[in-house]
Amino acid sequence: MKNSFKKALKIFKYLSILFTIVFWIYMIIDDYVFIEKYGISIEGIGMWVMWFLGYFLGFAFYFWIISSTTILIYHKTNKQN
């Protein structure tokens, strides 16, 4: 079971990197009109960081709930000696 959680951690790391890159690219594209009109401010970047942390924590929570449940069910149904 320890190896399964190590694999899940490795997958989580890669998905976290992908999530971060996609999120920041999306935020710049989505708010480009406001950046062009008002410029980039510290308050705007702070709001982006808050949104990022909220979405990332949600992503991490659901990933680990689903992964842990799947790993535990798999190891309970397939008893390995």
7 belongs to a structural domain: yes
- Tens of pLDDT, residue by residue over 30-57, are 888 888 888 888 888 899 999 999 999 9
pTM of the model: 0.81
Q: Calculate the average pLDDT of the chain.
A: 91
25 belongs to a structural domain: yes
Give the rounded percent of residues in the chain with a pLDDT score beyond 90. Answer: 63
Please give the pLDDT value at position 10. Answer: 97
Please give the pLDDT value at position 38. Answer: 82
Burial call 63-79: b when 16+ CB within 10 Å, e when fewer: beeebeeebeeeeeeee
71 belongs to a structural domain: yes
CB atoms within 10 A of CB 36: 8
Domain of 61, in residue numbers: 2-76
Please give the pLDDT value at position 6. Answer: 95
The yes-or-no verdict on residue 80 having pLDDT over 70 is no
Q: How far apart are CA 37 and CA 22, in angstroms?
A: 23
Specify the number of domains making up the chain.
Answer: 1
